[in-house]
Structure 1
Amino acid sequence: MSVIFPLSNYFIGVKDIVSDDYLSSRKKIEQLEKEYPTLGLHVSVEAVIVAHEHNHPLIFTPGGFLKIGEDEVEGLKRILNDLLAPVNETIEWEIGEVISHWWRPHFTMDMYPYPLPHIKQQKELKKVFLVGLPEKCTFSVPKAFKVAAVPMIDVYENRANFGAIISSIPHVLSRFQFVFA
């Protein structure tokens, strides 16, 4: 069982620091295409963070690329702290299990939940982790970023607005028994 805390337990502030590591999706693909001949398969990680409002689950999904040779869990913690922790602080993230794998066969937005068999060299592997939140904490988001906790009902089977990965999250999370605190 996983305990989900109310969204009202979390305060979201703003920080001035902005890293070039967290680019728009299109810029990430351009970067991936540029670096692929030298670095090969890129591994990225994404967190599925769940809170609730009036017992309706809300999700948000921050993530990014790992550094070469970086441990997946430590890399995800680094990325989450870079994106969400107040300046000069860290948040103790509860990194859970990998809930899905997604493969990018080409330098396009398309990703699949399995490696396409006719593609010899995949371009990216994205691992999606369930991440628990502390009961209360303060987040601090770079000015240029927008954080939105989206109701899971809005994401459910809504590939047109959220894409394949995010719209699959309600299905993947259905195997967990959540307790609303």
Structure 2
Amino acid sequence: MTTVTEEARHTTIVPPVSGSFSACQQETIRLYPVTNYTFGSKEAQPEEDPSVAARLQRMQDQYEKYGMRRTCEGILVCHEHGHPHILMLQIANSFFKLPGDYLQPGEDEIEGFTSRLEERLAPIPGTYSPDQHVSEWNIGDCLAQWWRPNFETFTYPFIPPHVSRPKECKKIYLINLPKHKVLSVPKNMKLLAVPLFELYDNPARYGGQLAAIPQYLSRYNFEFVDENDVVIARSPGLGH
């Protein structure tokens, strides 16, 4: 008598085709390989404040003059081996952050955010020719909002009930990367391509905001293309 293992039994079962499960789905995002992008360097951009305490004190001084700080950061997505990777900055080999920064008082949100991205990652004018794809920033959906209730390091993805005047609002946007782009990184920073599986459930290394990026992106379907613009994979790959 032959004993059929549980694994073998399941492999012989052909399940019926499931019904459609893609109602109200967000648009499919096309991701290009990380090798499509050119990475250069430029002069260092030191942090404005020597310590966290100094940064919070400056935030308080500005709050008294201009009100709540507005900050915008971007999620730049590419792929490697058919899995989404996030381009993020590493500072001093331990601190990770998304490209972006706070807006100036009275500055338009999208124009100001575009300027911060240019300051952080745009190549030095004249160092690349136009045919090297020095393209504009395509700012997509706002994926999350984080709030700082007080002049402290704690932030929340909601405004606590007892807080009527938050001190900072940080918006996190999806940046739709083109097929090619030149990115120049300040010499005191590194630009790393971090896979989603590394970020997921890893706040000890990346902090709560960055560890939540896989949840932000779970609303989208992705298609991955190679250097020749041929679709090589899809995620989640169901119902298409």
TM-score (norm 2): 0.70
What is the aligned residue count?
180
- State the percentage of identical aligned residues: 38
Is residue 174 of structure 2 the alignment partner of residue 174 of structure 1? no
Q: Which amino acid aligns with 1:14?
A: S
Distance 1:35 1:155, change over 3 A: same
Q: Which amino acid aligns with 2:59?
A: L
Query: Structure 1: 5+ residue runs without aligned partners?
Result: none
Q: Which amino acid aligns with 1:153?
A: F
3-state DSSP of counterpart to 2:147? strand
2:190 alignment counterpart: 146
| Larger CA Rg, structure 1 vs 2 | 2
User: Once the 2 structures are TM-superposed, how far is the Cα of residue 83 of structure 1 from its aligned partner?
Assistant: 0.6
Q: Which amino acid aligns with 2:108?
A: D
Give deviations 1:20-48, integer Å, cap 9, x for gaps.
66x68825434212322112100000101
Give deviations 1:120-161, integer Å, cap 9, x for gaps.
211100011000111112111111122222111110011111
TM-score (norm 1): 0.91
3-state DSSP of counterpart to 2:174? strand
Match of 2:178 among 131, 134, 138: 134
Contact 1:85–1:91 under 8 Å retained in 2: no
Contact 1:92–1:134 under 8 Å retained in 2: no
- The 1-side partners of 2:40 and 2:117 are apart by 15
Q: Which amino acid aligns with 1:5?
A: Y
Match of 1:81 among 118, 126, 132: 118
User: Once the 2 structures are TM-superposed, how far is the Cα of residue 64 of structure 1 from its aligned partner?
Assistant: 0.3
Match of 1:72 among 81, 92, 109: 109
3-state DSSP of counterpart to 2:212? helix
Distance 1:81 1:91, change over 3 A: farther
Distance 1:30 1:144, change over 3 A: farther
Distance 1:168 1:96, change over 3 A: same
Is residue 137 of structure 2 the alignment partner of residue 93 of structure 1? yes
Distance 1:70 1:47, change over 3 A: same
1:108 alignment counterpart: 152
Contact 1:159–1:167 under 8 Å retained in 2: yes
User: Once the 2 structures are TM-superposed, how far is the Cα of residue 17 of structure 1 from its aligned partner?
Assistant: 5.6
The structure showing larger relative contact order (alpha-carbon pairs under 8 Å, at least 6 residues apart) is 1
Tell me whether 43-52 or 159-168 shows the greater mean CA deviation. 159-168
Q: CA RMSD in A?
A: 1.9
- The 1-side partners of 2:203 and 2:106 are apart by 32
- The 1-side partners of 2:30 and 2:45 are apart by 31
Is residue 160 of structure 2 the alignment partner of residue 123 of structure 1? no
User: Once the 2 structures are TM-superposed, how far is the Cα of residue 95 of structure 1 from its aligned partner?
Assistant: 0.5
Give deviations 1:36-63, integer Å, cap 9, x for gaps.
2112100000101101111111113211
Is residue 59 of structure 2 the alignment partner of residue 32 of structure 1? yes
- The 1-side partners of 2:137 and 2:189 are apart by 20
Give deviations 1:70-101, integer Å, cap 9, x for gaps.
22211111111111111127641110010111
